[in-house]
Chains A and B, each alone.
Chain A
Amino acid sequence: MFESILLTIATAATPLLIAAIGELVVERSGVLNLGVEGMMLMGAVTGFGAALATGNPWIGVLAAIVVGALFSLLFGFLALTLATNQVATGLALTLLGIGLSGMIGTAFIGQPGVKLTAIYIPGLTDLPMGRFFFGQDPLFYISILLVAAVGWFLFRTRAGLTLRSIGDSHTAAHALGIKVIPIRYAAVAFGGACAGLAGAQMSLVYTSQWIENMTAGRGWIALALVVFASWRPWRVLLGAYLFGAITIAQLHVQALSVNDIPVASGAMWIVSESGRWLLGLLKSVPAQFLSSLPYLATVVVLVLISRNRRMTLINTPASLGKPFVPDR
């Protein structure tokens, strides 16, 4: 049961993680793209459609990545080339994504999709905990690799340093001859590709179906996770899994009954009794409150992190959300 719960948590955390790690790169370059939800939906609908048409989920994944990136370039053109307000443009992208994906997806409603199946490595998958480490869907491993790759790129490579410098001061970077706009375009496209991939995870792994607005606000959670992580890649991983874990745990608290915990005798009596007492306490809390726990936990951690103001400022991209207009 423990392994099964972990698997559920991983599936719930993966779309948040992928979308958030993409947005982290975008924001590190100084651009705030609030269109994550819309891009995820576009990825979800194209991923579903392409997989359904070809019967191959990998084609769906690729299509979602490409469409996510292309869709984000629409934001790029407006916010970077035309220097529009990034908040308004991002919101518009989300609204467009919701509507457009709904329209494209009309034909897919009520159709079972193609599922991207979990991997199986003979021997390894059968080990204890093997299904968690060696038997999940490929996108789980890709999400972990993405975090490692982004962490390495941002803090261990020259290109990553350049990208962060643009995020901290685009005017200074421009003065040094760094091409601010093209690099930001690349970052935005990467963020879009990740959001598209996260959408494909929703419609090909999490639930293999297409329904209008199926991401149900996960794009916004991903945006919050980036701030939660104070723009550090590994903390995004932590945040996504914390959020996923609390979401799943509260469902288990609801389903578990006090009588499901056996009354043990001897030394284990204390353990079983305190377990029963704790569950009883949790179950006396209304389910609506339990549902809000993941959000509450996010806020609490956010408060704790931001207590150290200096560290927060060091990590925050100073030019975040400011349009860049080169003077010549």
Chain B
Amino acid sequence: MKKLLIALAASAAAIVASSGAMAQDKMKACFIYVGPIGDFGWSYQHHQGALEMQKALGGEEKVEIAYLESVPEGADAERAITNFARSGCKIIFTTSFGYMDATNAVAAKFPDIKFEHATGFKRDTENVSTYNSKFHEGRYVQGVIAAKMSQKGVAGYIASFPIPEVVMGINAFVLGAQSVNPDFKVKVVWANTWFDPGKEADAAKALLDQGVDVITQHTDSTAPMQVAAERKVKAFGQASDMIKFGPETQLTAIVDDWGPYYTERVKALMDGTYKQIDIWGGMKEGHVVMAPYLNMPDDVKKAAEEVQAKITDGSFNPFTGPIKKQDGSEWLAAGAVAPDGELLGLNFYVNGVDDQLPKN
């Protein structure tokens, strides 16, 4: 049934696309999303980036946008991407890790079309670029704030799946917190879902019942923020600025801002300066943006801004030694910086995480 829907959606998009293909000089950028654009999280932010790009480059008259939502990762994705490639798209953004093989397979068949794959690492042909963001930089700043705000020295962390991206975030948060309070502890609850508002709320309640007094999340809904607001503790937003859901609760949020990158890439294609790249951008590149620092004393705000400034100008990397692994063995010697390749495959905790990492 789902396949049928995808096929229908894809053909509908193809019809829309073919009517637009008449005007040859018009740029057409296409997006494949893994979730609904109404998730107020991952896919929502990608779509906001797409809309921002369209606006920045002259609106609908100059740039046409097409997108498919809730495309399953795997074989269906290849069909959806192929349909886009045939319908006049000049650049196709595939915005989830699971589209990696499908993107490369289709790219090999359409050498004249540019493909951009988010969070992946395969670039089999010259027309495939990859892009990702260093969200852990934001999590380090959150850790600093959490340690300064927490009375009890324990934070709650609602996690999704034990993949490197999430483990990296937990570690960065702990390191940030321990830079302020070396005894700081983090309790982790795995929700085993990216998206289930009810379960995320339950996880937040469980953590609060066990005495944590600040909450952060690596799941996509605003539910934990609302629970924190009800219980009058502080929390951090995820993916989007969630201040509306906790006006007196949200300390800050990591906002995924894809707009500048999309604008830059599509503009380069229009100007003829487009080149294949592999970018892992962070605060420096403007990919990771922090929502305004609110609901905290001025000295905490100042400390957070200082750390953010140091990460932004490149003088500080959150994963700088000495860092010990959870079991007490040494990971990074004093002054050593973790190489990107090791971070992208991270599968262990640093010292101070009050949890056993589930194995894949």
A241-259 Cβ-contact flags toward B at 8 Å (1 or 0): 0000001100110111100
Contact A251 B1, beta carbon cutoff 8 Å: no
By CB atoms of chain A within 10 A, which of B198, B210, B240 has the most?
Answer: B198
Contact B40 A254, beta carbon cutoff 8 Å: no
By CB atoms of chain B within 10 A, which of A15, A102, A110, A283 has the most?
Answer: A110
Q: Give the nearest-CB partner of B192 in chain A.
A: A291
Known contacts being A12-B202, A202-B198, is A5 close to B209, with CB within 8 Å?
A: yes
B159-197 Cβ-contact flags toward A at 8 Å (1 or 0): 000100000000000000000000000011111110111
Contact B39 A211, beta carbon cutoff 8 Å: yes
Selected from B156, B199, B201, B210, the residue in CB contact (under 8 A) with A260 is B210
Contact A216 B222, beta carbon cutoff 8 Å: no
- In the complex, whether B56 has a CB less than 8 A from a CB of chain A is no
Selected from B1, B212, B358, the residue in CB contact (under 8 A) with A91 is B1
Residues of chain A within 8 A (CB-CB) of B195 are 211, 213, 216
Contact A209 B245, beta carbon cutoff 8 Å: yes
Which 8 pairs show the lowest CB-CB distances between chains A and B?
Answer: A287-B190, A212-B38, A251-B206, A216-B196, A212-B36, A291-B192, A207-B223, A286-B358
Known contacts being A209-B223, A287-B192, is A255 close to B1, with CB within 8 Å?
A: no
The distance in angstroms between the C-alpha atoms of A4 and B190, with both chains bound, is: 20
Q: Give the nearest-CB partner of B193 in chain A.
A: A216
Residues of chain B within 8 A (CB-CB) of A252 are 206, 209-210
Q: How far is the CB of A208 from chain B (nearest CB, A)?
A: 6
The distance in angstroms between the C-alpha atoms of A106 and B39, with both chains bound, is: 10
Which residues from 28 to 69 on chain B have a C-beta closer than 8 Å to any C-beta of chain A?
Answer: 36, 38-40, 44
Residues of chain B within 8 A (CB-CB) of A256 are 210
Number of residues of chain A lying within 8 A (CB) of chain B: 44
Residues of chain B within 8 A (CB-CB) of A255 are 156, 187-189, 206-207, 210, 212
Contact B201 A212, beta carbon cutoff 8 Å: no
- In the complex, whether A28 has a CB less than 8 A from a CB of chain B is no
Contact A257 B354, beta carbon cutoff 8 Å: yes
Contact B156 A254, beta carbon cutoff 8 Å: no
- In the complex, whether A109 has a CB less than 8 A from a CB of chain B is yes
Q: How far is the CB of B89 from chain A (nearest CB, A)?
A: 24
Residues of chain B within 8 A (CB-CB) of A11 are 202
Selected from B39, B162, B197, B209, the residue in CB contact (under 8 A) with A4 is B209
Contact A248 B354, beta carbon cutoff 8 Å: no
- In the complex, whether B152 has a CB less than 8 A from a CB of chain A is no
- In the complex, whether A321 has a CB less than 8 A from a CB of chain B is no
Besides A1-B209, A211-B39, 5 other A-B contacts (C-beta < 8 A)? A202-B197, A247-B199, A254-B206, A255-B206, A283-B356
Q: How far is the CB of B55 from chain A (nearest CB, A)?
A: 19
Residues of chain A within 8 A (CB-CB) of B202 are 8, 11-12, 247-248, 251
Q: Give the nearest-CB partner of A217 in chain B.
A: B196
Contact A207 B198, beta carbon cutoff 8 Å: yes
- In the complex, whether B232 has a CB less than 8 A from a CB of chain A is no
Q: What would 27 A/B residue contacts be, using CB atoms closer than 8 Å?
A: A1-B209, A12-B198, A95-B1, A102-B38, A109-B44, A112-B222, A202-B197, A206-B197, A206-B198, A207-B221, A209-B226, A209-B245, A211-B221, A211-B222, A212-B38, A214-B198, A216-B196, A216-B198, A216-B199, A218-B198, A248-B206, A252-B209, A254-B355, A255-B207, A255-B210, A257-B354, A287-B190
Residues of chain A within 8 A (CB-CB) of B207 are 255
Contact A209 B197, beta carbon cutoff 8 Å: yes
Q: How far is the CB of B223 from chain A (nearest CB, A)?
A: 4
Q: Give the nearest-CB partner of A12 in chain B.
A: B202
- In the complex, whether B203 has a CB less than 8 A from a CB of chain A is yes
A residues at B contact (CB < 8 Å): 1, 4-5, 8, 11-12, 15, 91, 95, 102, 105-106, 109-112, 202, 206-209, 211-218, 247-248, 251-252, 254-257, 260, 283-284, 286-288, 291
The distance in angstroms between the C-alpha atoms of A254 and B210, with both chains bound, is: 11
Residues of chain B within 8 A (CB-CB) of A110 are 40, 222, 240, 244
Contact B221 A251, beta carbon cutoff 8 Å: no
Known contacts being A251-B203, A255-B206, is A291 close to B36, with CB within 8 Å?
A: no
The distance in angstroms between the C-alpha atoms of A212 and B36, with both chains bound, is: 7
The distance in angstroms between the C-alpha atoms of A110 and B45, with both chains bound, is: 12
- In the complex, whether B205 has a CB less than 8 A from a CB of chain A is yes
Contact A207 B199, beta carbon cutoff 8 Å: no
By CB atoms of chain B within 10 A, which of A208, A248, A251 has the most?
Answer: A251
Q: Give the nearest-CB partner of A258 in chain B.
A: B354
The distance in angstroms between the C-alpha atoms of A114 and B355, with both chains bound, is: 36
Residues of chain B within 8 A (CB-CB) of A206 are 197-198, 201
The distance in angstroms between the C-alpha atoms of A82 and B48, with both chains bound, is: 44
Q: Give the nearest-CB partner of A284 in chain B.
A: B356
- In the complex, whether B5 has a CB less than 8 A from a CB of chain A is yes
Residues of chain A within 8 A (CB-CB) of B162 are 287
Q: How far is the CB of A227 from chain B (nearest CB, A)?
A: 22
Contact A212 B192, beta carbon cutoff 8 Å: no
Known contacts being A255-B206, A286-B358, is A109 close to B223, with CB within 8 Å?
A: no
Selected from B192, B198, B223, B240, the residue in CB contact (under 8 A) with A288 is B192
Residues of chain A within 8 A (CB-CB) of B355 are 254, 257
The distance in angstroms between the C-alpha atoms of A213 and B40, with both chains bound, is: 12
Known contacts being A212-B39, A216-B195, is A251 close to B189, with CB within 8 Å?
A: yes
